[in-house]
Amino acid sequence: MQTVKAASHTLHLVDRYELDKQTLALFLTPGADPYEATEEFLFDCEMRADELPRFLRRALLEFQVHSNPEGILLLRGLPTDPDLSQIHTPGDAKRSTEKKTHVSERCLAMIGSRLGHLVSYIQEKNGDLFQNLAPVKGTEKVQASSGSQVRLQFHRETVFHPYAPEYLLLYCLRPDHDRVAETTYASISHALPLLSEEHRELLFQPLYRTGIDYSFGNLQTVKGNGPILPVLYGNRHDPFLNYDEDLMTAITSEAESALEALKDAVASVYRGVKLNSGDLLCIDNRRTVHGRSSFVPRYDGFDRWLQRAFVVRDLGESAVDRQPGERVIRTTF
């Protein structure tokens, strides 16, 4: 594993490797259809992942067990779908009707299987396990993955949800035209030292109310309509983080000042990464919040295109809200 120093931060990435023919074939050889035969596709991917080179499995194992101070692991230069240059970015950010191969889905499922189990949410893209993220005309200013011309504010993925994913995987099929869009991230390990003892104490108490996401039906972006939570939880010196810059509110004025201090801390420690075709970013959703810089889409069929997958450590936790044998979490709000 390579580590690259960027200012005071270390980017944990797996990079500068050449995949041998056998490894490439694990990703490229056609198999079950991820949309028509989902379980078979996932089982096949998990078994293929057992054959990945040792250094890749080791990097993923270390990330799963110990995470790291950034709470991210970037795998650069994974294989891409053949003929990708001729396939249009789906302008509605729904399933691509043009992409007939499933290399991007296989990258997500194989890497995801080393961290946990892929799940989806019924409200997100109709429960698709692999979600296309692309700019959608008319939603440029929206705080959601379809937006573009506003900064997507820092958030833990589905912070309001009882079965939020432990990992979020973003695979890049195509960067933006101007190569300016950055996926931004900030970890609590880096933000915590900037917070006073008093503010930390407040953030560990259930004094905060989060909001339901725009994509889960909160179209008016009402703030504070979700559950009451502490922002920090777990180990006092190495905590986990519930945070949504846009939708979270405090229920007392003291708690509000602590939330403001956290916002400032996140703003001063965050970093950005420009994803290229074949890059896969794994985000530890309990330690690290993420967002996106703004960019200008052209709507010419070749705009920025990512695919996303959610990973949980334990499928059993959400069993009450899933149908047996299915991955779709159907919790209602």
- Binding residues for Fe ion, per CB under 5 A? 157
Q: Smallest gap, in angstroms, from Cβ of residue 51 to Fe ion?
A: 31
Between 44 and 307, whose beta carbon lies closer to Fe ion?
307
Handedness of CA 143, 146, 147, 148 (dihedral sign): positive
Q: Smallest gap, in angstroms, from Cβ of residue 288 to Fe ion?
A: 11
Q: Smallest gap, in angstroms, from Cβ of residue 106 to Fe ion?
A: 22
**CA–CA distance from 189 to each of 192, 194, 198, 287 (Å)?**
6, 10, 17, 7
Between 157 and 176, whose beta carbon lies closer to Fe ion?
157
176 is written with which tokens?
A: 């933006």
Task: Write down the residue that tokens 């846009």 correspond to.
Answer: 246
Between 157 and 245, whose beta carbon lies closer to Fe ion?
157
Task: Write down the residue that tokens 């067990």 correspond to.
Answer: 65
221-224 long-range CB contacts below 8 Å, 24 or more apart?
Answer: 221/143, 221/246, 221/247, 223/247, 223/248, 223/249, 224/248, 224/249
Between 159 and 207, whose beta carbon lies closer to Fe ion?
159
Handedness of CA 82, 122, 42, 288 (dihedral sign): positive
Cα separation, 200 vs 259, in Å, equals 10
Between 23 and 139, whose beta carbon lies closer to Fe ion?
139
Between 103 and 164, whose beta carbon lies closer to Fe ion?
164
Q: Smallest gap, in angstroms, from Cβ of residue 244 to Fe ion?
A: 10
At CA 247, angle to CA 246 and CA 250, rounded to 5? 110
Between 41 and 171, whose beta carbon lies closer to Fe ion?
171
Q: Smallest gap, in angstroms, from Cβ of residue 197 to Fe ion?
A: 31
Cα separation, 2 vs 31, in Å, equals 31
Between 81 and 157, whose beta carbon lies closer to Fe ion?
157
Which single residue brings its beta carbon nearest to Fe ion?
157
Q: Smallest gap, in angstroms, from Cβ of residue 290 to Fe ion?
A: 6
33 is written with which tokens?
A: 């259809």
Q: Smallest gap, in angstroms, from Cβ of residue 37 to Fe ion?
A: 28
Write the DSSP symbol of residue 244.
Answer: B
Between 157 and 284, whose beta carbon lies closer to Fe ion?
157
Provide φ and ψ at 232, rounded to 5°.
-110, 145
The DSSP element (H or E) to which 254 belongs, if any, is helix 253-269
Q: Smallest gap, in angstroms, from Cβ of residue 307 to Fe ion?
A: 13
Q: Smallest gap, in angstroms, from Cβ of residue 158 to Fe ion?
A: 8
Candidates 34, 72, 124, 113; CA nearest to 280 is 72
Q: b or e along 29-38 (b: 16 or more beta carbons within 10 Å of the residue's beta carbon)?
A: eeebebeeeb
Give the number of residues written for the chain.
333
